């Protein structure tokens, strides 16, 4: 329970740091977790190996990473099919 409270306090503190910047710059609010999510998706879309992405995110299994991120990256799926097609035609 203490770890959860520390984690939630960390989120609150981070958001407290972000909010003044939002007011000054007139930008919409971006949560730190949103940046992590975007990072993972961009890595997968660029062709990064899912095992490496999973390790980088600290997930316990590739399944967790796949369940959270792969359904979003249709572009990744299409690129993989094109790679397979190119491989088979050479």
* Whether pLDDT at 6 is above 50: no
| Cα 15 from chain centroid (whole Å) | 18
- DSSP character string of 22-87: HHHHTPPP--HHHHHHHHHHHHHHTT--HHHHHHHHT-S-HHHHHHHHGGG-HHHHHHHHHHHHHH
Predicted pLDDT at 55: 95
Give the domain ranges of the chain: 1-30, 31-90
Burial class of residue 44 (count of CB atoms within 10 Å of its CB; 0-12, 13-18, 19+): buried
Q: pLDDT for 20-71, tens place per residue? A: 666 666 666 677 778 888 899 889 888 888 999 999 999 999 999 999 887 7
């Amino acid at each position: 329970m203490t770890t959860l409270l520390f984690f939630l306090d960390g989120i609150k503190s981070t958001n407290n740091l972000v909010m003044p910047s939002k007011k000054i710059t007139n930008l919409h609010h971006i949560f730190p977790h949103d940046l992590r999510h975007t990072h993972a998706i961009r890595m997968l879309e660029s062709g990064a190996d899912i095992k490496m992405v999973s390790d980088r995110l600290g997930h316990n299994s590739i399944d967790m990473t796949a369940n959270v991120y792969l359904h979003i990256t249709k572009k990744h799926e299409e690129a993989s099919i094109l790679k397979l097609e190119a491989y088979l035609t050479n």
